[in-house]
Structure 1
Amino acid sequence: MSFSSAPKTIAGKPVGPIGYGLMNANSLQLLKHYFTKYPEDASRVVLSIKGAYDGATQSPTASPEQIRASVDECLTLLDGTKSIDLFEPARVDPNVPIEETVKALAELVEKGKIGSYGLSEVNAQTVRRAHAVHRPAAVEIELSLFSQGALEEAGVVDTCRELGIPIVGYSPLDRGWLTGQFKTLDDLPQDDFRRFYPRFQPGNFEKNVELAGAVEKVAKKKGVTSAQVAIAWVQQQGVLPIPGSTKVERVQENTKYVELTEAETEELHEALSKAHVSGHRYPEMFQAHLDK
Structure 2
Amino acid sequence: MASYILRRFIGALVVLFGISVITFIIAYAAPGDPARLIVGAKAPQTVVDAVRHNLGLDQPLPIQYIHYIGRLLHGDLGFSYHNNLPVAELIGQRIGNTVQLALASWIVEVILGLPLGIFGALYHRRTADYILSFLTLVGMSMPVFWFGMWLIQNVAYGLGILPLGGVGGISHLILPAITLGVTNMAFYQRLVKSSMVDVMSQDYIRTARANGVPAHRVVTRHALKNGLIPAVTYAGMDIAQLCGGVVLTETVFNYQGVGQLAWQSIENLDFPVIMATVLIAAVFVVVMNFIVDIVYSLIDPRISLS
- Using the size of structure 1 for normalisation, the TM-score is 0.23
| Larger proportion of helix | 2
Pick 1 or 2: higher relative contact order, CA cutoff 8 A, min separation 6: 2
Larger Rg: 2
- Using the size of structure 2 for normalisation, the TM-score is 0.22
